[in-house]
Amino acid sequence: MQLPLLALAMASFGIGTSEFVIMGLLPEVAADLNVTIPAAGLLVTGYALGVVIGAPIVAVITNSLPRKATLIGLAATFVLGNLLCAIAPDYWTLMAARVVTAFCHGAFFGIGAVVAASLVPPTQRASAIALMFAGLTLANVLGVPLGTALGQVASWRATFWTVVVIGLAAVGGIAAWLPSDIPHKAGNILGEFAVLRRPQVLLAMAMSVLCSASLFTVFTYIAPLMREVTGLTPNAVTVVLLLFGVGITIGNIIGGRLADWKLMPSLIGTCAGIALILVVLAFTSAAEVPAIATVFVWGMLVFAVVAPIQTRVVDSAIGAPNLASTLNQGAFNLGNAGGAWIGGAALTLGLTYDQLPWVGAALAVGAFVVGLVSQALERRSGGLATGEEFCAATAGEGC
């Protein structure tokens, strides 16, 4: 099953690169399209909102379609969206192209996570999801820095043309390597949305929002934090971001392994670890070596929760895993936008950059508390479905 998972990871690499590389190219985009940098920054906001709004819509539309065909269609839409980005003649065309690309984002990761889980034995589901999301982590380590460098040397359009090529390779990989007979039980649309009445599904999504908000409250402003508080040069900040990307790649794999072992205990423990490391960052941010080491460990912890939370959502949403898994991608992006806003609001109210980690830590504590509540409800009700029950409920013959 490694080749199908590799194809999914390849697509997630392209999607992740397309989502985040725009942040490093805002000056080039703004200058080329004759808009201000804040206006160009709305391309990031527009993408996040596109994920949040588009995820449930696409999940409903594709509910009855074969999984392989759906994933190929979503990856092809991603290619089309980035092609439109590369040739966009003006700002609003680029904004529309970004939204088109974002619409396939949430559904691809949501449906892809369920497919990845169905391709392996029940005891390896979280690791399979983590392997798929490894493409997203590698996008932060390789795709974004290289895409930014290419955009600065050539043009920002060259970066999107490169992403188009990556997307085409992913479409080919999915078409060639993903099984055609992926089990899929299409349920009633209204019945699918009924899954949102389940407390465990909502609690898992709340953890997604809080963990993501905890990250972006601080990470959105990591560059000025490292430069103005730690005293690093711009080049040194780039190295720190690269180390952070390495950390999230390692954390992603570790998180998947831990979730396959003990899902909720490892998830709750990781949330506590995130809160603790952010408190540490508040104290170490004034010294170069301790600050860099702290950021690396922080990177490991923040992405160690992604695969476990996604697995928890799928486990909690028996009968409607595709919709719930897709909506959870919207929850992550809602946390992204919310965290950036919270961090900005905190700075506006007078907090300094080195105090932002305290805000992020408070949000991580919130995720920790939600995890405890979820675990307590699970024990009271006798537990969630087992891996075998998940496979049976989703017609997962490949499990």
Residue numbers in the chain where pLDDT is lower than 70: 1, 185-191, 382-399
Q: How would you classify residue 325: left for phi > 0, otherwise alpha for psi between -120 and 50, otherwise beta?
A: alpha
- Give yes or no: residues 165 and 222 share one domain: no
The per-residue pLDDT for 185 is 67
Residue (of 109, 102, 72) closest to 85 by Cα position: 102
Structural domains counted in the chain = 2
Length of the chain: 399
Single residue among 131, 161, 184 that ends a domain in this structure: 184
The whole-angstrom separation of Cα 205 and Cα 329 is 9
The whole-angstrom separation of Cα 251 and Cα 302 is 7
- Give yes or no: residues 206 and 150 share one domain: no
Instruction: Provide the 8-state DSSP code for 198.
Output: -
The whole-angstrom separation of Cα 62 and Cα 65 is 5
- Give yes or no: residues 290 and 321 share one domain: yes
The per-residue pLDDT for 391 is 52
Strand, helix or coil for residue 90:
coil
Angle at 175 between CA 180 and CA 132, to 5 degrees: 90
In degrees and rounded to multiples of 5, residue 304 shows phi and psi of: -70, -10
DSSP 109-168: HHHHHHHHHHTS-GGGHHHHHHHHHHHHHHIIIIIHHHHHHHHHHS-HHHHHHHHHHHHH
Strand, helix or coil for residue 70:
helix
Instruction: Provide the 8-state DSSP code for 213.
Output: H
CB 132 within 8 A of CB 7: no
- Give yes or no: residues 353 and 233 share one domain: yes
Single residue among 154, 169, 184 that ends a domain in this structure: 184
- Give yes or no: residues 81 and 193 share one domain: no
The whole-angstrom separation of Cα 317 and Cα 309 is 12
Q: Which two tokens stand for residue 202?
A: 């909502």
The per-residue pLDDT for 237 is 80
- Give yes or no: residues 177 and 203 share one domain: no
- Give yes or no: residues 277 and 137 share one domain: no
For residue 305, what is the domain's CATH number? 1.20.1250.20
- Give yes or no: residues 207 and 154 share one domain: no
CB 344 within 8 A of CB 337: no
The whole-angstrom separation of Cα 110 and Cα 386 is 20
- Give yes or no: residues 174 and 262 share one domain: no
- Give yes or no: residues 123 and 207 share one domain: no
Q: Which two tokens stand for residue 376?
A: 């307590």
The residue whose two tokens read 């952010």 is 278
In degrees and rounded to multiples of 5, residue 398 shows phi and psi of: -80, -5
The whole-angstrom separation of Cα 352 and Cα 229 is 9
- Give yes or no: residues 217 and 327 share one domain: yes
- Give yes or no: residues 310 and 234 share one domain: yes
Single residue among 166, 184, 202 that ends a domain in this structure: 184
The whole-angstrom separation of Cα 283 and Cα 294 is 10
Position 48: which residue type? Answer: A
- Domain ranges, residue 397: 186-399
